[in-house]
Amino acid sequence: PFLQSALEPYMSKKTLEVHWGKHQRGYIENLNRQIANTPLEGYLLEDIVKISYNRGSPQPAFNNAAQAWNHDFFFTSLKPGGGKSPTGEIAELIDKQLGSYDNFVKEFKLAAASQFGAGWAWLAREFLFFLSSLSFYPFCLKEAKLVVEKTPNAINPLIWDHIPLLVLDVWEHAYYLDFQNNRPDYVSTFLEHLVNWDIVNARLDRAKAFMNWGEPDWDLFDKDADILTYEEAGIDVVEDSS
């Protein structure tokens, strides 16, 4: 989404040449070979990730599919002149659900720094509605929450039905040319100079549209109540008159 030199001096052209031009290209080419003439051919990449994870028993295509998806999500999480404090709805949600932007930074840095070996640090959103066979009402409803999490190797939050909003690659190939073994400085540089908060807000809008069908005004509800009717949840129900 930008020139390979556009993120300098915070991420070098050489890093992007290797990271995007070699690592990401390799994942995509390997995945295309793996899924050729298989039932996975033709699926969207996100669907390939979910299907090939196979409920915790990954199929051969999973690692390359997830790494290709993760890297694409990471590169579009960057922008020249990015970083600093967010604005818009994501800023409001961070303050409301994570305490403050400073608290988010602490949590995100801890997740990124404490991921042993290769992996990823994420800001994601959990689902809001899910079907429940254990309650009187057809939906069990809880407020969607922002979560900061880390994942090893190729794993990403899609497999838990979380919706990713932001990611940082903490595989060594992502930062070693610029920061050597100083991962904490790499994480700080990402947050201070590289994060694309505009795309995070756009992803948040998409997440809301995908999972909330129009989110209720939570200030109207009892915070201790988990189960609501359709009407209480602000969902219009059309009766079948046929």
Digit-coded pLDDT (tens) for 102-149: 999 999 999 999 999 999 999 999 865 544 444 444 444 456 789 999
Burial class (CB in 10 A: 0-12, 13-18, 19+), 218: exposed
Q: How far apart are CA 157 and CA 151, in angstroms?
A: 8
Q: Which fold has domain 11-75?
A: Helix Hairpins (1.10.287)
Q: How far apart are CA 12 and CA 5, in angstroms?
A: 7
Residue with tokens 């008159």: 241
131, β-bridge pairs: 139
Q: At what angle do helices 197-211 and 88-98 cross, to 10 degrees?
A: 70
Low-confidence ranges of the chain (pLDDT < 50): 130-141, 212-242
- Specify the pLDDT at position 216: 42
Q: How far apart are CA 103 and CA 117, in angstroms?
A: 24
Q: How far is CA 170 from the centre of its chain?
A: 14
Residue with tokens 């922008």: 79
CA distances from 218 to 65, 212, 221 (A): 37, 12, 5
In the chain, the amino acid numbered 57 is: S
Token code pair at residue 45: 């990449």
SS (H, E, C) 162-211: CEEEEEEECCHHHCHHHHCCCHHHHHHHHHHHHECHHHHHHHHHHHHHHH
Binding residues for Mn(2+): 19, 71, 169, 173
Token code pair at residue 150: 């880390």
- Specify the pLDDT at position 135: 45
Architecture of domain 80-233: 3-Layer(bab) Sandwich (3.55)
What are the residue ranges spanned by the domains of the chain? 11-75, 80-233
- Specify the pLDDT at position 232: 47
- Specify the pLDDT at position 207: 83
Binding residues: 19, 71, 169, 173
Count the neighbouring beta carbons within 10 Å of the beta carbon of residue 201: 18
Q: Which residues contact 144 (CB under 8 A, 6 or more apart)?
A: 125, 126, 127, 128, 211, 212, 215
- Specify the pLDDT at position 165: 98
Q: How far apart are CA 147 and CA 199, in angstroms?
A: 18
- Specify the pLDDT at position 217: 46
Whole-structure pTM over 0.75, yes or no? yes
